[in-house]
Protein backbone atom coordinates (compact mmCIF):
# COMPACT_ATOMS: atom_id res chain seq x y z
CA UNK A 1 0.00 0.00 0.00
CA UNK A 2 1.33 3.41 -0.94
CA UNK A 3 1.04 6.05 1.76
CA UNK A 4 -0.94 9.22 1.12
CA UNK A 5 0.88 12.52 0.78
CA UNK A 6 -0.77 15.91 1.10
CA UNK A 7 1.50 18.77 0.03
CA UNK A 8 0.63 22.46 0.13
CA UNK A 9 2.11 24.82 -2.44
CA UNK A 10 1.85 28.32 -1.03
CA UNK A 11 3.13 29.86 -4.29
CA UNK A 12 4.05 33.56 -3.83
CA UNK A 13 2.02 34.04 -0.66
CA UNK A 14 2.59 34.34 3.10
CA UNK A 15 4.98 36.63 4.96
CA UNK A 16 7.07 35.00 7.70
CA UNK A 17 4.66 36.02 10.50
CA UNK A 18 1.77 34.55 8.49
CA UNK A 19 3.75 31.39 7.83
CA UNK A 20 4.47 30.89 11.51
CA UNK A 21 0.84 31.52 12.46
CA UNK A 22 -0.38 29.06 9.83
CA UNK A 23 2.00 26.34 10.99
CA UNK A 24 1.03 26.91 14.63
CA UNK A 25 -2.63 26.56 13.66
CA UNK A 26 -2.06 23.55 11.42
CA UNK A 27 0.26 21.45 13.59
CA UNK A 28 -2.24 20.41 16.31
CA UNK A 29 -4.92 19.66 13.71
CA UNK A 30 -2.77 17.23 11.71
CA UNK A 31 -0.69 15.68 14.46
CA UNK A 32 -2.60 12.38 14.47
CA UNK A 33 -2.73 11.76 10.74
CA UNK A 34 -0.90 8.83 9.18
CA UNK A 35 -0.66 10.80 5.93
CA UNK A 36 2.51 12.72 5.04
CA UNK A 37 2.09 16.49 5.41
CA UNK A 38 4.35 18.82 3.44
CA UNK A 39 4.28 22.59 2.97
CA UNK A 40 6.22 24.14 0.08
CA UNK A 41 6.87 27.74 0.98
CA UNK A 42 8.57 30.81 -0.55
CA UNK A 43 12.33 31.10 0.00
CA UNK A 44 11.83 33.92 2.53
CA UNK A 45 9.64 31.63 4.67
CA UNK A 46 11.88 28.56 4.59
CA UNK A 47 13.98 29.28 7.64
CA UNK A 48 11.04 30.41 9.80
CA UNK A 49 8.99 27.44 8.66
CA UNK A 50 11.77 24.95 9.40
CA UNK A 51 11.99 26.32 12.95
CA UNK A 52 8.21 26.34 13.40
CA UNK A 53 7.72 22.72 12.31
CA UNK A 54 10.24 21.36 14.81
CA UNK A 55 8.55 18.72 16.95
CA UNK A 56 5.64 18.35 14.49
CA UNK A 57 4.95 15.90 11.65
CA UNK A 58 4.95 18.71 9.06
CA UNK A 59 7.75 18.68 6.49
CA UNK A 60 9.03 21.65 4.54
CA UNK A 61 9.83 22.10 0.87
CA UNK A 62 10.92 24.86 -1.49
CA UNK A 63 9.09 25.69 -4.71
CA UNK A 64 12.04 25.89 -7.09
CA UNK A 65 15.84 25.75 -7.23
CA UNK A 66 18.64 26.30 -9.74
CA UNK A 67 20.51 23.32 -11.17
CA UNK A 68 23.98 24.82 -10.70
CA UNK A 69 25.61 24.64 -7.28
CA UNK A 70 26.82 28.27 -7.16
CA UNK A 71 27.98 31.04 -9.42
CA UNK A 72 26.88 34.10 -11.36
CA UNK A 73 23.13 33.43 -11.43
CA UNK A 74 21.69 36.57 -9.89
CA UNK A 75 18.52 35.94 -7.95
CA UNK A 76 18.76 32.16 -7.97
CA UNK A 77 18.94 29.67 -5.09
CA UNK A 78 20.79 26.36 -5.43
CA UNK A 79 20.07 22.88 -4.17
CA UNK A 80 23.16 23.10 -2.01
CA UNK A 81 21.75 26.22 -0.35
CA UNK A 82 18.45 24.48 0.34
CA UNK A 83 20.26 21.48 1.75
CA UNK A 84 22.36 23.72 4.00
CA UNK A 85 19.27 24.76 5.98
CA UNK A 86 17.75 21.25 6.00
CA UNK A 87 15.00 21.70 3.44
CA UNK A 88 13.63 18.25 2.62
CA UNK A 89 11.51 18.66 -0.54
CA UNK A 90 11.56 20.84 -3.64
CA UNK A 91 8.87 21.33 -6.27
CA UNK A 92 10.38 21.15 -9.75
CA UNK A 93 8.82 22.13 -13.06
CA UNK A 94 5.56 23.56 -11.79
CA UNK A 95 3.46 24.69 -14.78
CA UNK A 96 3.72 28.29 -13.58
CA UNK A 97 7.53 28.02 -13.82
CA UNK A 98 7.27 26.41 -17.25
CA UNK A 99 4.80 29.09 -18.39
CA UNK A 100 6.23 32.31 -16.90
CA UNK A 101 9.90 31.47 -16.37
CA UNK A 102 10.69 29.52 -19.52
CA UNK A 103 11.42 26.22 -17.82
CA UNK A 104 11.70 23.33 -20.24
CA UNK A 105 11.76 19.57 -19.94
CA UNK A 106 15.53 19.86 -20.20
CA UNK A 107 15.94 22.30 -17.29
CA UNK A 108 13.45 20.28 -15.27
CA UNK A 109 15.63 17.20 -15.78
CA UNK A 110 18.77 19.12 -14.77
CA UNK A 111 17.04 20.40 -11.65
CA UNK A 112 15.82 16.93 -10.68
CA UNK A 113 19.37 15.60 -10.94
CA UNK A 114 20.77 18.55 -8.95
CA UNK A 115 18.10 18.10 -6.27
CA UNK A 116 19.02 14.42 -5.85
CA UNK A 117 22.70 15.36 -5.62
CA UNK A 118 21.91 17.47 -2.55
CA UNK A 119 19.56 14.91 -0.99
CA UNK A 120 16.45 16.93 -1.70
CA UNK A 121 13.26 15.05 -2.57
CA UNK A 122 11.87 16.36 -5.86
CA UNK A 123 8.14 16.81 -6.44
CA UNK A 124 8.06 16.89 -10.24
CA UNK A 125 5.04 18.56 -11.85
CA UNK A 126 3.56 17.53 -15.17
CA UNK A 127 0.28 18.50 -16.81
CA UNK A 128 -1.42 19.38 -20.07
CA UNK A 129 -3.03 22.64 -21.23
CA UNK A 130 -6.72 22.82 -22.11
CA UNK A 131 -5.82 23.04 -25.79
CA UNK A 132 -3.66 19.91 -25.62
CA UNK A 133 -6.46 18.12 -23.81
CA UNK A 134 -9.07 19.15 -26.38
CA UNK A 135 -6.80 17.93 -29.16
CA UNK A 136 -6.63 14.52 -27.48
CA UNK A 137 -2.94 14.91 -26.67
CA UNK A 138 -3.10 14.92 -22.87
CA UNK A 139 -1.69 11.44 -22.27
CA UNK A 140 1.08 11.97 -24.79
CA UNK A 141 2.03 15.31 -23.19
CA UNK A 142 2.13 14.06 -19.61
CA UNK A 143 3.93 10.81 -20.36
CA UNK A 144 6.53 12.66 -22.45
CA UNK A 145 7.05 15.24 -19.67
CA UNK A 146 7.45 12.38 -17.20
CA UNK A 147 9.97 10.52 -19.35
CA UNK A 148 12.06 13.62 -20.02
CA UNK A 149 12.04 14.74 -16.37
CA UNK A 150 13.35 11.33 -15.30
CA UNK A 151 15.88 10.87 -18.12
CA UNK A 152 19.16 9.41 -16.87
CA UNK A 153 17.95 8.65 -13.34
CA UNK A 154 19.10 5.37 -11.84
CA UNK A 155 16.43 3.04 -10.40
CA UNK A 156 17.62 3.65 -6.85
CA UNK A 157 17.22 7.40 -7.38
CA UNK A 158 13.52 6.90 -8.07
CA UNK A 159 12.86 6.13 -4.39
CA UNK A 160 12.65 9.77 -3.33
CA UNK A 161 10.83 11.04 -6.43
CA UNK A 162 7.23 12.21 -6.20
CA UNK A 163 5.29 13.18 -9.30
CA UNK A 164 2.39 15.64 -9.29
CA UNK A 165 -0.11 15.56 -12.13
CA UNK A 166 -1.54 19.05 -12.43
CA UNK A 167 -3.71 19.71 -15.48
CA UNK A 168 -3.07 23.38 -16.20
CA UNK A 169 -6.73 24.12 -16.89
CA UNK A 170 -7.60 23.00 -13.35
CA UNK A 171 -5.07 25.16 -11.50
CA UNK A 172 -6.61 28.06 -9.62
CA UNK A 173 -9.73 27.91 -11.77
CA UNK A 174 -12.07 26.06 -9.45
CA UNK A 175 -12.37 23.42 -12.20
CA UNK A 176 -11.20 20.08 -10.88
CA UNK A 177 -10.62 17.13 -13.13
CA UNK A 178 -13.21 14.46 -12.33
CA UNK A 179 -11.74 11.86 -10.03
CA UNK A 180 -12.04 9.31 -12.85
CA UNK A 181 -10.22 11.55 -15.32
CA UNK A 182 -7.46 12.45 -12.87
CA UNK A 183 -7.06 8.81 -11.89
CA UNK A 184 -6.78 7.74 -15.53
CA UNK A 185 -4.12 10.38 -16.24
CA UNK A 186 -2.17 9.29 -13.18
CA UNK A 187 -2.47 5.66 -14.27
CA UNK A 188 -0.93 6.66 -17.61
CA UNK A 189 1.98 8.33 -15.79
CA UNK A 190 2.41 5.23 -13.62
CA UNK A 191 2.46 3.03 -16.75
CA UNK A 192 5.18 5.26 -18.22
CA UNK A 193 7.23 4.77 -15.04
CA UNK A 194 6.57 1.02 -15.36
CA UNK A 195 7.94 1.01 -18.91
CA UNK A 196 11.06 2.83 -17.76
CA UNK A 197 11.72 1.25 -14.35
CA UNK A 198 9.59 -1.87 -13.97
CA UNK A 199 6.79 -2.99 -11.66
CA UNK A 200 8.23 -2.40 -8.21
CA UNK A 201 9.12 1.24 -8.78
CA UNK A 202 5.88 1.91 -10.70
CA UNK A 203 3.77 0.38 -7.94
CA UNK A 204 5.60 2.30 -5.22
CA UNK A 205 6.03 5.77 -6.68
CA UNK A 206 3.81 8.44 -5.15
CA UNK A 207 1.81 10.37 -7.75
CA UNK A 208 -0.28 13.32 -6.56
CA UNK A 209 -3.13 15.21 -8.18
CA UNK A 210 -3.15 19.02 -8.16
CA UNK A 211 -5.68 21.54 -9.44
CA UNK A 212 -8.43 23.10 -7.32
CA UNK A 213 -8.24 20.44 -4.60
CA UNK A 214 -10.31 21.43 -1.55
CA UNK A 215 -11.88 19.81 1.49
CA UNK A 216 -15.05 18.96 -0.48
CA UNK A 217 -13.40 17.05 -3.32
CA UNK A 218 -10.28 15.62 -1.62
CA UNK A 219 -11.86 12.39 -0.39
CA UNK A 220 -13.30 11.40 -3.75
CA UNK A 221 -10.00 12.13 -5.50
CA UNK A 222 -7.71 10.49 -2.97
CA UNK A 223 -9.77 7.30 -2.68
CA UNK A 224 -9.26 6.33 -6.31
CA UNK A 225 -6.88 3.52 -7.22
CA UNK A 226 -3.90 5.59 -8.36
CA UNK A 227 -4.11 9.07 -6.84
CA UNK A 228 -1.81 9.07 -3.82
CA UNK A 229 -2.75 12.49 -2.44
CA UNK A 230 -2.66 16.09 -3.52
CA UNK A 231 -0.55 19.12 -4.32
CA UNK A 232 -2.79 21.85 -3.01
CA UNK A 233 -2.48 25.54 -3.90
CA UNK A 234 -5.11 28.03 -2.72
CA UNK A 235 -6.69 25.69 -0.19
CA UNK A 236 -3.34 25.22 1.60
CA UNK A 237 -3.25 28.87 2.70
CA UNK A 238 -5.78 28.38 5.51
CA UNK A 239 -4.89 26.06 8.37
CA UNK A 240 -8.47 24.80 8.86
CA UNK A 241 -9.10 24.03 5.21
CA UNK A 242 -5.70 22.42 4.64
CA UNK A 243 -6.08 20.32 7.81
CA UNK A 244 -9.44 19.05 6.54
CA UNK A 245 -7.77 17.96 3.30
CA UNK A 246 -4.96 16.22 5.20
CA UNK A 247 -7.57 14.52 7.40
CA UNK A 248 -9.85 13.58 4.48
CA UNK A 249 -9.85 9.96 5.67
CA UNK A 250 -11.05 10.57 9.23
Interacting span for ligand 13P (CB under 6 A) from 28-36, 114-122, 165-173, 177-185 = 165-173
Distance CA 4, CA 1 (A): 9
Helices and strands (H and E) in the chain: how many: 11, 8
β pairing state of 121-126 and 89-92: parallel
Quick one: 142 or 235, whose CB is closer to ligand 13P?
235
- 233 counts as binding ligand 13P under rule CB under 6 A: yes
Distance CA 203, CA 15 (A): 38
* Structural contact between residues 148 and 111, judged by C-beta atoms closer than 8 angstroms: no
Which residues, 57 to 86, sit near ligand 13P by CB under 6 A? Answer: none
Interacting span for ligand 13P (CB under 6 A) from 77-85, 134-142, 178-186, 209-217 = 209-217
- 167 counts as binding ligand 13P under rule CB under 6 A: no
Closest CA to 235 of 244, 225, 247: 244
Judged by CB under 6 A, which of 42, 93, 167, 234 binds ligand 13P?
234
Out of 96, 103, 128, 166, the active site residue is 166
Q: Could you tell me the smallest distance in angstroms from the CB atom of residue 69 to ligand 13P?
A: 26
Residue 166 annotated among the catalytic residues of the structure = yes
Distance CA 158, CA 63 (A): 20
Judged by CB under 6 A, which of 166, 192, 226, 228 binds ligand 13P?
166
218-223: which pairs have CB atoms within 8 A and are 24 or more residues apart? 218/244, 218/245, 218/248, 219/248, 219/249, 220/179, 221/176, 221/179, 221/182, 222/4, 222/248, 222/249, 223/179
Judged by CB under 6 A, which of 221, 231, 245, 246 binds ligand 13P?
231
Interacting span for ligand 13P (CB under 6 A) from 145-153, 182-190, 217-225, 228-236 = 228-236
Residue 69 annotated among the catalytic residues of the structure = no
- 212 counts as binding ligand 13P under rule CB under 6 A: yes
Q: Could you tell me the smallest distance in angstroms from the CB atom of residue 39 to ligand 13P?
A: 12
Q: Could you tell me the smallest distance in angstroms from the CB atom of residue 30 to ligand 13P?
A: 18
The residues assigned a catalytic role are: 94, 166
Point out which residues bind ligand 13P (CB under 6 A). Answer: 9, 94, 166, 171-172, 210-213, 231-235
Amino acid sequence: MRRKVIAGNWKMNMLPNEAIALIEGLAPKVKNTKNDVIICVPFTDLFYSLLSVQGTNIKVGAQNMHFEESGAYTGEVSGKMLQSINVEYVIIGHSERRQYFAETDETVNKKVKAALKYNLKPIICVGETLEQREEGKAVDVITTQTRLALEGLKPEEMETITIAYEPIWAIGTGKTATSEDANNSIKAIREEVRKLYGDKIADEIIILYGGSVNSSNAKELFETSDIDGGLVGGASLKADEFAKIVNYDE
